[in-house]
Amino acid sequence: MAALPLQKRRSKIEPLIEAREVNKSYGSQGKRVDVLKGLNLSINRGEKLAIVGASGAGKSTLLHILGTLDRPVSGEVLYGGMNPFTLNDAALAGFRNKRIGFVFQFHHLLPEFSAVENVMMPAVIAGISPADATREAIEILKEVGLENRLTHKPGELSGGEQQRVAVARALVLKPDALLADEPTGNLDAVTGESVHNLLMEINANKGVTMIIVTHNEKLAGRMERVVALIDGKAVERK
């Protein structure tokens, strides 16, 4: 029997996240600013996507909407075909905590808690027992190279180590997607490069879908796809 053509043998790739005709605007002193204008974007499971664009183009706004931290004025965002914005606030918060991990330019770690305690927070919020949450936190901290910093508080860690704790916290519940907004924008070049390498390893080893907003062209160049926000729309960059 003749072999099927390659495209026939491949299983159909289903998008993890779809933004369909998303519009977002803000009002200020009687003036409306349209940030996203009928934006469409599809992101496959396991994909690495960079979102780039000029300052004020709406990159962070788009990331917040994809992460369900903000709602579009119109249009829809689907996760596996389901629109999480149809959930009530409590259910949406639970969905976000379990399915999406976030890393921001500033780590937002709680200064009075250790690395383990910071990382276990999302698991505790999700109802996982403290013992199990601690075990998961220690495991992921070891994976990001901080096995010798488990009991250290943020003030006792370097900037790169703090960001690794933030990455571990984002991954502790094994989310479908990791969304990062300028994750190395507050780090020096060498430390930032080590965090870039960590993110690439996480995607390769865990298959986590990765969406990163960045001005760093070197980081963008390491992603599978780059989308530029231009006049409120997502434009695929060749």
Give dist(CA 57, CA 167) in Å, integer: 26
Residue 2, in any domain of the structure? no
Q: Which of 23-32, 112-121, 161-170, 209-218 has the lowest mean pLDDT?
A: 23-32
Q: Which of 9-23, 137-151, 161-175 has the lowest mean pLDDT?
A: 9-23
Residue 141, in any domain of the structure? yes
Residue 47, in any domain of the structure? yes
Residue 62, in any domain of the structure? yes
| Residue-level pLDDT at 13 | 65
Residue 67, in any domain of the structure? yes
| Residue-level pLDDT at 10 | 38
How many structural domains does the chain have? 1
Residue 6, in any domain of the structure? no
Look up the pTM and report it: 0.84
Q: What is the pLDDT confidence band of residue 72, given thresholds at 50, 70 and 90?
A: very high
Q: What is the pLDDT confidence band of residue 9, given thresholds at 50, 70 and 90?
A: very low
Q: For every residue of 116-146, which 3-state class applies, written as one string?
A: HHHHHHHHHHCCCCHHHHHHHHHHHHHHCCC
Backbone phi, then psi, for 234, in 5-degree steps? -90, 120
Residue 131, in any domain of the structure? yes
Mean pLDDT score, 121-138? 93
Q: Which residues pair with 34 in a beta bridge?
A: 25
Is a pLDDT exceeding 70 seen at residue 1? no
Containing structural domain, residue 150? 16-236
Write the CATH number for 97: 3.40.50.300
Mean pLDDT score, 113-122? 94
Is a pLDDT exceeding 80 seen at residue 11? no
| Residue-level pLDDT at 194 | 82
Is a pLDDT exceeding 90 seen at residue 105? no
Residue 8, in any domain of the structure? no
Is a pLDDT exceeding 70 seen at residue 12? no
175-221 tens-digit pLDDT: 999 999 888 777 778 888 888 888 888 888 888 899 999 888 888 88
